[in-house]
Chain A
């Protein structure tokens, strides 16, 4: 966690440097023409370096603030994701709109311009928290569920916000232009005061989340335990959501109302694929948020007609997609490969066990099963499998020396194959007996249940079963009648 706070310090310091380096206030129009002029004069390579190394004043403000915002949203969003409240950010973001509109009206009626970011943020936070409380009230006092409560607050408060904005647009005193940027985001129009507000608020939010790390983690993983231990769970819940609201509100102007939601959801979801530990996940989530903010804003500054908010979201989603596919443990590809491996193993074991059972049928009263050959047709009839698939598995077994195809068309297990088959069948039967004697499962039902677990039995467990059943060493007969085409599993 220290790393995160250090990161913040660095970002904040560079923000101050940005202020001192320029020493001048760059207004909206100035900054836009500034970008246009530089892009005309300098070569593409220079421009790339300019943006990436934050040389130009305006891009420095924009990129630093989106990076900071990504970090803060990543940290707060991690808890939101684990609390399974990701869409709460969506609802809260929408419920800030009436606050923004009301704050604007109040500021105008007191003679201001109505566009002070701090004032708008205060209004937004106020109705955001109000929306949050209404959401909790609906959930706690009615039969309606979380999703309805969220949808309710979202749509109604946004409607109220639009209605008030409609009033503002007809107001003679002030132009409401610029309030729109709260919905779609307008990073290019960022000024120093906005930048400082965003920096300070993001820092405070992240620090609050880090300071309350233990409590929030407890709330996310086991809220009832938190209550039983005497933690004020409801107040913690509200604290978390207030942090979310605050991050949402400062994000509104730079990435827009709809896209700030992505900032809260996507980086933590991507981080979740790489780790099982909350501190690591929070850190990764902050880093992914920061990278999306930095890269997105850079691309938007380099390529004409690329809205920063949208590009940031696309970058974050790409990171998410990459994580989802390629994370080593939880990733889709890794899990798919594991699944395929397991499936192959299970199929091989099925073949070997079926072969062993065929051999076993020919023992004619001997106490020891000897390795007789058997025809392919009989093996094919043992289970519901198709000839090509069975042949594929048989070929594989042949290649690793478990099986021989004899000249007369019969199949015979090799010595190692016979041992392996005997071991697998033994495990299967042990497990079946265990289920029959200890788990009260009818012998006629046991084959199928045993099939599912035998493939993952550890050697250790097998020993324990053998001991428990006092049956070690001897050959174990099947507890149920062996049939061809048993229930497929």
Chain B
């Protein structure tokens, strides 16, 4: 294979998206709200559709706003349904996001004649094409997706740095956080809008599946490897970047082994996160599945005298 600047840009866009997602993702995982990423990335559809219908352009400000609003609404509605209706949280989330997604789908189909917005591109994205859509910045041609994702990454990074203490507190001890006056609900809505904005920034370029994967899998991998928050965020971001590289490499090379053309990059990036998770799951030094197995066998061999075994 020959590596071109195209490939570099694809990996860069993927890595930017990965880091932008893992930052709020770590807190989602700690708050036991991993499925919220999936819910929001589906539920922003009506927001995107309305924003798109209003302006007729992709990646416009109204579209971002619409998506951020529907993202927060998903969290609010879920809270309402589970609080006022006393419905199980998971079920409430399922009801809310499927309804919003359905409404979005109807909106898009209704306007399908004069709108060129394909719901499938929301899920898959066309990552391979990102380097084609460029903007000149300081004399360098940079893909538009790279710029929008960098902005989102910076936004997420600064919000999390600014509110690190509060987010940490409310993620680990919601009650204490509320009594100290840091509304855990407010922080949750902030996280939700971060997820929503990240999803929208990513959906067109890289597809929302990669957002869902990067929100959950790298933080989960990091959680297996450490019990401290800052190392967890750093490890999660590194795992995200690594899977972006690995994902693109495998998208280009693996299908060739079976005699096929290359495949969807966002899909294989998501798959690569799963691969890295599996490695951490099986081999991590402190509590990896195989490591534990090996240690147990060793312990048994050491602790039980041979005579007793034979008797």
Contact = CB atoms under 8 A, between A and B. Distances in A.
Interface of A: 81, 84-87, 89-90, 138, 141-145, 147-148, 150-152, 154-167, 170-171, 180, 183-184, 258-259, 261-262, 264-266, 268-269, 272-273, 305-307, 309-311, 313-314, 317, 320, 324, 330, 332
B75 interface: no
Interface of B: 29, 32-35, 37-38, 42, 81, 84-88, 90-95, 98-99, 101-103, 105-106, 109-110, 112, 119-120, 123-124, 207, 209-210, 212-213, 215-217, 220, 223-224, 251, 255, 258, 260-264, 266-271, 273-274, 277, 281, 287, 289
Contacts of A84: 88, 90
Closest 7 interchain pairs by CB?
Answer: A159-B270, A162-B267, A156-B274, A166-B264, A166-B263, A262-B98, A170-B261
A166 B123 CA distance: 13
Given A90-B38, A262-B102, A269-B91, A155 B212 contact: yes
A180 B120 contact: yes
A10 B101 CA distance: 33
B94 A262 contact: yes
A261 B94 contact: yes
Contacts of A268: 91
Contacts of A89: 94
A184 B38 contact: no
Contact of A332 (B85, B93, B94, B101): B85
A309 B105 CA distance: 9
Contact of A152 (B94, B277, B289): B277
A17 B94 CA distance: 36
B98 A167 contact: no
A310 B38 CA distance: 18
Contact of B106 (A150, A164, A180, A311): A311
A305 B274 contact: no
A143 B221 CA distance: 11
Nearest to A296: B102
A7 to B, nearest CB: 25
Contact of A154 (B87, B124, B212, B223): B212
Contacts, number: 212
B102 A150 contact: no
Contacts of B120: 180, 183-184
Contacts of B209: 155, 158-159, 162
19 contacts: A86-B91, A148-B223, A151-B34, A151-B35, A151-B38, A159-B210, A160-B267, A163-B263, A166-B255, A166-B262, A167-B260, A170-B260, A184-B120, A261-B98, A265-B98, A269-B92, A311-B102, A314-B103, A317-B99
Q: Which of A148, A161, A170, A183 has the most CB of B within 10 A?
A: A148
Contacts of A317: 95, 98-99, 102
B98 A266 contact: yes
Given A155-B213, A170-B260, A147 B33 contact: yes
B250 to A, nearest CB: 8
A85 to B, nearest CB: 7
Given A160-B271, A261-B94, A330 B86 contact: yes
B124 A156 contact: no
A486 B80 CA distance: 34
A107 to B, nearest CB: 16
B123 A320 contact: no
Contacts of B217: 151-152, 155-156
A90 B273 CA distance: 19
A264 B88 CA distance: 14
A332 B38 CA distance: 28
A170 B263 contact: yes
B97 to A, nearest CB: 9
Contact of B263 (A142, A156, A167, A262): A167
A298 to B, nearest CB: 15
Given A86-B91, A259-B101, 4 more contacts: A162-B209, A266-B94, A305-B109, A320-B95
B109 A154 contact: no
Nearest to A88: B90
A259 B95 CA distance: 10
A265 B106 contact: no
B279 to A, nearest CB: 13
Contacts of A166: 251, 255, 262-264, 267-268
Interface centre among A89, A141, A167, A330 (most CB of B within 10 A): A167
A27 B259 CA distance: 34
Nearest to A155: B213
Contact of A86 (B88, B103, B110, B263): B88
Nearest to A84: B88
B255 A313 contact: no
A142 B95 contact: no
Contacts of B99: 262, 266, 313-314, 317
Given A89-B94, A159-B209, A165-B264, A147 B106 contact: no
B207 to A, nearest CB: 8
B167 to A, nearest CB: 18
A317 B81 CA distance: 12
Contacts of A145: 32
Nearest to A77: B91
Contacts of B35: 87, 90, 147, 150-151, 154
B39 to A, nearest CB: 8
Contact of A148 (B29, B84, B90): B29
A155 B255 contact: no
B35 to A, nearest CB: 5
A157 B289 CA distance: 21
Contact of A144 (B37, B224, B270): B224
Which of A87, A180, A314 gathers most chain B CB within 10 Å? A87
B289 A87 contact: no
B34 A147 contact: yes
B260 A159 contact: no
A159 B269 contact: yes
A156 B260 contact: no
A86 B212 contact: no
A320 to B, nearest CB: 6
A155 B270 contact: yes
B106 A310 contact: yes
Contact of A155 (B216, B261, B264): B216
Nearest to B264: A166
B277 A156 contact: yes
A186 to B, nearest CB: 12
A155 B109 CA distance: 26
Residue in A145, A162, A164, A180 whose Cβ sees the most chain B Cβ within 10 Å? A162
Contacts of B119: 184
Nearest to B101: A258
B257 to A, nearest CB: 11
Contacts of B260: 167, 170-171
B112 A305 contact: yes
Contacts of B277: 152, 156
Nearest to A82: B88
Contacts of A332: 84-85
Contacts of B223: 143-144, 148
B27 to A, nearest CB: 13
B159 to A, nearest CB: 22
A180 B118 CA distance: 12
